[in-house]
Amino acid sequence: MNKRKIIMDCDPGHDDAIAIILAAARQELEILGITTVSGNAEIEKTTMNALKICDLVSLTDVIVSKGASGPLVRVRETAPGIHGDTGLDGPELAEPSRSWSGEHGADTMIRLIKESEEPVTVLPTGPLTNVALALAKAPEIKDHIEEIVLMGGGTFGNWTPTAEFNIWADPEAAKKVFDSCIPTTVMGLDITHQAMASQEVIDQVNQIDNKVAKIVGELLEFFAETNKEMFDLDGGPVHDVLTVAYCVAPELFKMKEVNIVVETKGEFTAGTTLVDLHGVTGRERNAKFGLELDVEGFWNLMFESLKKY
């Protein structure tokens, strides 16, 4: 079987962690490497969390490289209100068995893409700083990226009324990605809010009897609480997991080809994605945008994958 080669560029983060867990369970994917970025928490924490999750799911021979410690140009902001102080509050996880690679995340991304015989899919689930740095240093990798499947943006916001956290945290990096002409697929809030880990979902996860599922249950419970508190949501939307699910089962997703640009200059709107659903701007299509999720299919994929552990 020809596995799809992926690089996971993430800031774990509860949903990033579950995204790694899902990916590690899937035969359809080969994780070439994991690169971390500052976002939900500081870079030291997101890197530590990535290493811990790799141990949990036995990804110990996959390279983990620490990437950017802050956005390209702006001041760093994190999201402790959602992910807790460690960036992954909730479950108890053992200290990692190893350290990160010593190579910068952006360099690992460049190297893995260049070394791969087949085109590589990049799955950014944090701010897009590493991807932007990689494109800045080695623009020639564009031709060897099959697709960028990212979590970010949407037609509405969470961190501001119009901006989603990942794009808001580094708008210039996001602009660079959307302007890059690489095939880009976007899981924005419109579709990720459909993947709400309700109490019912958590209950089903908790019925799966293995250590990984137990941890996932604890992650979802913590995440549901903070999302309730901060955004008045009924459960935590497992945003980042959709990027992995899309690579495995695209048939669960109703997508639309649209133009997306990122605002970097506004007084109030920096980090806003303008998703041109109705073609009113006349700008060329440059992204596939997630409209509708087969919610039942998605959760079944999750449950089935967790049972493999």
182 contact, one of its own copies, Ca ion, none, CB 5-8 Å limit per kind: none
Strand partners, 150: 186
Sites for Ca ion among residues 122-161 (CB under 5 A): 125-126
Query: Is 239 in the active site?
Result: yes
Distances (CA, A) of 102 to 108, 147, 214: 10, 26, 31
Handedness of CA 57, 125, 207, 300 (dihedral sign): negative
Figure out which of the listed residues 82, 128, 133, 167 binds its own copies, where binding follows CB under 8 A.
133
Query: x-or-dash pattern for Ca ion, window 6-45, by CB under 5 A?
Result: -----x-x--x-----------------------------
Task: Evaluate whether 82 touches 227 at the Cβ level (below 8 Å).
Answer: yes
Sites for its own copies among residues 8-67 (CB under 8 A): none
300 contact, one of Ca ion, its own copies, none, CB 5-8 Å limit per kind: none
Q: Write the secondary structure of 38-52 as one string of H (helix), E (strand) and C (coil).
A: CCCCCHHHHHHHHHH
SS3 163: strand
Told to check if 265 binds its own copies by CB under 8 A, we report yes
Taking the C-alpha atoms of residue 119 and residue 239, their distance in angstroms, rounded to an integer, is: 25
Task: Evaluate whether 31 touches 59 at the Cβ level (below 8 Å).
Answer: yes
In the complex, minimum distance from the CB of residue 209 to its own copies, in angstroms, rounded to a whole number: 37
Told to check if 171 binds Ca ion by CB under 5 A, we report no
Task: List residues near its own copies by CB under 8 A.
Answer: 68-70, 72-73, 104, 106-107, 129, 132-133, 136-139, 155-162, 172, 175-176, 230-232, 261, 263-270, 272, 274-278, 280-281
